[in-house]
Structure 1
Amino acid sequence: MARFRWFTHAVPEGLPVRQVYGFLFASDGRVLIRVDGAKHSLPGGRPELGESTYADILRRETLEEVTSEITDPHYLGYQCVDDGVSPYAQVRMVASLARVHPPAPDPDNGRTYRRLLVHPDDAGDLLNWGTSGHMQATAAAEAAITVLGLPHRGLPAPSYI
């Protein structure tokens, strides 16, 4: 069984980054959750050839998966996944939603994902990533306030966009 550990420092040299995901915040302080049937996740995915930064990966994946554009991407940390064979990193970032386009199929798999805006306190439960997920959601909520300057009180109810 794989072990997941959350770190807020840079990814150590030699630890491969296999995925980059983002906590994407609307201007009202809610975070976007990608919905695929009953599964909730963050927008993001694997690096592709020619992408040189985590921000580049997150921008592309956000546009492909949830047809949205982002600004101000900031590194939060990484989750180390130790599968017993070859550990790797899943980078987490925080960014502002700049523009949300109508839903469209993901070019990688043809699925159209629903997009749910939720209070950051609810993100950890919806993602169902255990303690590590709650730690990530907490770090993202703090960064939304301190780095992105977004509100944290009096947020609207969850809604699909």
Structure 2
Amino acid sequence: MTTFRWITEPLPAGITVRQVYGFCFDSTGRVLLREDGGRYGLPGGRPEAGEDALATLSRECEEESQITIADPLYLGYQEVTEDGQPPYAQLRYAARITGFHPRHEDPDTGRTYGRLLTPLHKAPALLDWGIDGLLQAASAVHAARTLGLVPTSVRKDTWHN
């Protein structure tokens, strides 16, 4: 059985990082989801030898979704435990999208993924990650505010009844 636990603290020493993913925001505050056969995910993937987390995220964003990013902010990690094995980490970041580039195949899979820009509040349902996905999205909201991509408050005169 595999268990997942969202943790917003620094990564402890000794835990293996197997994946790095990003909530990548456009200039209007929408988050990019990678679409593959009707399923959605965040851009990201496995670190290559000698690569740190930020290099992994940047490379995977370019390879999978043909975007460039800046200003990555660490959100936390998902601790994954599989059938009595030592836990490993899937890191999560938020970042600003600085460029969209022509579509091409991912060199690892040979597939060209779809790109969906969606309001962040819709992402958890599309990702279908349950409570942990909601918690990660909540962390991403705070990061997007820090990046200046979503308002820090909503004026009353902008509410709709």
> TM-score, structure 1 length as denominator?
0.91
What amino acid sits opposite 1:59 in the alignment?
S
What amino acid sits opposite 1:29 in the alignment?
G
- Larger radius of gyration between Structure 1 and Structure 2: 2
1:113 aligns with 2:113: yes
Find the counterpart in structure 2 of residue 2 from structure 1: 2
What amino acid sits opposite 1:94 in the alignment?
A
* Shift of residue 102, structure 1, vs aligned partner: 1.6
What amino acid sits opposite 2:144 in the alignment?
A
How many equivalent residue pairs? 152
What amino acid sits opposite 1:131 in the alignment?
I
**After TM superposition, where is structure 1 displaced by more than 3 Å over at least 4 residues in a row?**
none
CA contact (8 A) 1:22 1:58 kept: yes
Find the counterpart in structure 2 of residue 28 from structure 1: 28
> TM-score, structure 2 length as denominator?
0.91
* Shift of residue 43, structure 1, vs aligned partner: 0.4
What amino acid sits opposite 1:62 in the alignment?
C
Find the counterpart in structure 1 of residue 65 from structure 2: 66
Give unpaired runs (5+ residues) of structure 2. Answer: none
Find the counterpart in structure 2 of residue 38 from structure 1: 38
Find the counterpart in structure 2 of residue 99 from structure 1: 99
1:141 aligns with 2:141: yes
CA contact (8 A) 1:120 1:138 kept: no
Between the aligned partners of 2:92 and 2:150, the Cα distance in structure 1 is 21
* Shift of residue 37, structure 1, vs aligned partner: 1.0
Give unpaired runs (5+ residues) of structure 1. Answer: 155-161
